[in-house]
Amino acid sequence: MTNSSPSSASLVVTTIHILLFFSTCLLVCNAAYPTQHYPLPRHHHPRSASHNYRDALTKSIIFFEGQRSGKLPPNQRITWRRDSGLSDGSALQVDLVGGYYDAGDNVKFGLPMAFTTTMLSWSVIEFGGLMNGELQNAKEAIRWATDYLLKATAQPDTIYVQVGDANKDHACWERPEDMDTPRSVFKVDRNNPGTEVAAETAAALAAAALVFRRSDPTYSNILLKRAISVFAFADKYRGSYSNGLRPFVCPFYCSFSGYQDELLWGAAWLHKATKNPTYLQYIQLNGQTLGADETDNTFGWDNKHVGARILLSKAFLVQKVHSLHDYKGHADNYICSLIPGTPFSQAQYTPGGLLFKMSDSNMQYVTSTSFLLVTYAKYLTQAHTVVNCAGTVVTPKRLRSIAKKQVDYLLGDNPLKMSYMVGYGDEYPMRIHHRGSSLPSVAAHPAKIQCSSGFSVMNSQSPNPNILMGAIVGGPDEQDHFPDQRSDYEQSEPATYINAPLVGSLAYLAHSFGQL
């Protein structure tokens, strides 16, 4: 049978000639018109990113799933974890199942959990619109906490602020799934007040109400109503929870800064969430007595003054609430304290360039400061203004640059070339101070691991068998040294309140470098 079509060999030759013609044409066209006919993609940014901030963002949120207490959902991504703490609250006939373990142990501490929730919510409020696919994951991380906080505040003028006896818990090195230490329950109420933990819980509920306002208005209203009543309780029955619960909350999450900062912070969040003038009046009347001009520039689970200043400065800068003018000045003073070379500079940096404030879990200071820098830069940009540090003009761009350097250090741009986020980069901590991560998983070792038998693992040099993806550890010392020792909780322990502020900063950086 004859075939009138060209042979396959001649087709190949013809195709090659056509390809050569077009490739030559493309080279000539590109030389003559290098960009004219090939515009840059809409999200292209000419600067090159030092890191894959998108990947870091994803991992920073996954981490929270590794800290979950309670009945785990079918879509749990850290699969070496199992259900735990399913009878929490039963000692007092209340349901306190759920929530987060704060760090590497198996206790649920209310003060850091509430602060974590506030900061995760603030991250979404400011930068959730840039998160794309990660927004839903961030919301689920928040809801895991707020579902628990709603349980903890279900009774009027009462908040369950801790589950687990920390001293007895720390006497064991065991998986949360194996816990046999007392799940003691501790609360604050009218007779034993806890203003700082109550006001922080109110802040968390109010901030989360803003997160869910559009996507789940019913849930948002529940959160906001509860925030209002919890704040009223915090304000009416004043006293530090560190007094009544000292043997149980100290030295772990003792409140060293007092409760005035939380009252100001809680009122600021309720003002933002409700727009009710009562909270603005409260801030105006009580701002000074609550330490609005406090000069301590450490922002974290204990001291909220700086965060309140930044948050309230937005109401002045963007919403033009002129009665809050002073907060712009307070916020500027904080910024000036961070800028090297200004007359007000107080910040200490390691030789490698990391902000250094504390020997125990310094990275919490780095992540919270970085978040405040990118957030204040956003407010300044919206208001078309800058910070003036005694004649030195500090632009929003400068603030973002400082924040980026801190995040880049955390992700590996440091003398050790070590990423301080587990699972990110080529080198990261392998022996983190975390019970569940360091002991074999239930899948690998179904038999119960007894209380003290886990210490042989804790004291060993073997890498953790379970990767706690996205966990950020306490970080290096003031000389940029990091031994990666499991027993060194000051440097090797992760915590929810280290990760929470970083979520917002990573979302901003991923977007600004076209990764989202």
The domain spanning residue 207 has which CATH number?
Answer: 1.50.10.10
Handedness of CA 412, 418, 422, 423 (dihedral sign): positive
Cα separation, 184 vs 165, whole angstroms: 6
Burial of residue 337 (number of CB atoms within 10 Å: 0-12, 13-18, 19+): middle
What distances in angstroms separate CA 30 from CA 25, 37, 41, 409, 508, one per listed residue? 8, 8, 17, 39, 34
- The dihedrals phi and psi of 185, each to the nearest 5 degrees, come to -115, 130
Structure letter (DSSP) for residue 100: B
Structure letter (DSSP) for residue 472: B
Is residue 118 included in any domain, yes or no?
A: yes
Three-class SS of 174-236? CCHHHCCCCCCEEEEECCCCCHHHHHHHHHHHHHHHHHCCCCCHHHHHHHHHHHHHHHHHHHH
pLDDT score, position 175: 97
3-state secondary structure of 422: coil
pLDDT score, position 6: 37
Is residue 37 included in any domain, yes or no?
A: no
Please give the chain's pLDDT, 516 residues, in tens.
433 333 333 333 333 343 333 343 333 333 332 333 323 333 334 456 889 999 999 999 999 999 999 999 999 999 999 999 999 999 899 999 999 999 999 999 999 999 999 999 999 999 999 999 999 999 999 999 999 999 999 999 999 999 999 999 999 999 999 999 999 999 999 999 999 999 999 999 999 999 999 999 999 999 999 999 999 999 999 999 999 999 999 999 999 999 999 999 999 999 999 999 999 999 999 998 898 887 888 999 999 999 999 999 999 999 999 999 999 999 999 999 999 888 889 999 999 999 999 999 999 999 999 999 999 999 999 999 999 999 999 999 999 999 999 999 999 999 999 999 999 999 999 999 999 999 999 999 999 999 999 999 999 999 999 999 999 999 999 999 999 999 999 999 999 999 999 999 999 999 999 998
pLDDT score, position 21: 39
pLDDT score, position 22: 37
Is residue 40 included in any domain, yes or no?
A: no
Is residue 216 included in any domain, yes or no?
A: yes
Is residue 15 included in any domain, yes or no?
A: no
Is residue 311 included in any domain, yes or no?
A: yes
Q: Give the amino acid at 124.
A: V
Active site members: 433, 484, 493
pLDDT score, position 47: 59
Residue 233's domain comprises 53-512
Q: Are 208 and 117 in contact (CB under 8 A)?
A: yes
Structure tokens belonging to residue 505: 């900063």
Q: What does pTM read for this prediction? A: 0.90
* 212: β partners: none
Is residue 2 included in any domain, yes or no?
A: no
pLDDT score, position 8: 37
Is residue 393 included in any domain, yes or no?
A: yes
Q: Which of 362, 107, 365, 84 is nearest to 245 (CA)?
A: 107
User: How many domains does the chain contain in total?
Assistant: 1
* Dihedral angle, C-alpha 335, 138, 302, 85, nearest 10 °: -170
